[in-house]
Amino acid sequence: MSADLQPTLRGELVALRPIEPDDWDALYAVASDPLIWAVHPVHDRWQEPVFRRFFDEGLASGGGLVATDPVSGAVIGFSRYDLARVEPGEVEIGWTFLARNYWGGAANADLKRLMIGHALRHFDRALFLVGEANIRSRRAMEKIGGRLTDRTYDADYPSGIVRHVIYAIDREGFAAGPLA
């Protein structure tokens, strides 16, 4: 299925555009906050060499999106579409982080509304892999209508294997859910 995995999308609180190599400085300025990664399985991603790998993977993925404030244009975070760990008719949305002053639900909900809405024009469902112990991200998924599936994924990180649980949002769930 052909889909634009690097669209330009604009919401009330977040705008998304394709990542570019010149985004390094602005994205690292946001990602260098250790508290963003405190409960993440890769809790040292705030360090330059670790974030450099993340950034380079985002560029190479063909699905990386920079999140900006639609009023100021300031870079506020990142997210990504990916097809590597999904079944036909599915797309993964993940690798999302936002500057802490955009935490609290509204900006994340706007970002996810934009990305899920775009994805479901091309795919039957969007999947979200969340570290099993990452309670903050799991609560955020539930808050936006993510349905916990029985699927899991074990990611091999430098710190060891980390089990991820998988949430899904399909067209029907999105239309009837809190992001509609």
What CATH number does the domain containing 166 carry?
A: 3.40.630.30
Q: How confident is the model at residue 2 (pLDDT cuts 50, 70, 90)?
A: low
| Count of domains observed in the chain | 1
> For residue range 89-133, what is the model confidence (pLDDT) as tens digits?
999 999 999 999 998 769 999 999 999 999 999 999 999 999 999
Q: Is residue 71 part of a domain?
A: yes
Q: Residue 1 domain-assigned?
A: no
Contact indicator for 128, 167 with CB cutoff of 8 Å = yes
What is the pLDDT at residue 36? 94
The reply to whether 3 falls in a domain is no
Range of the domain at 54: 9-176
> Strands across the sheet with 90-98, in order?
9-10, 15-18, 64-68, 75-82, 90-98, 125-131, 160-170, 147-157
For 61, residues 6+ apart whose C-beta sits below 8 A from its C-beta are: 80, 81, 82
Please check whether residue 4 lies inside any domain of the structure: no
Average pLDDT, the chain: 94
Q: Is the pTM of this model over 0.85?
A: yes
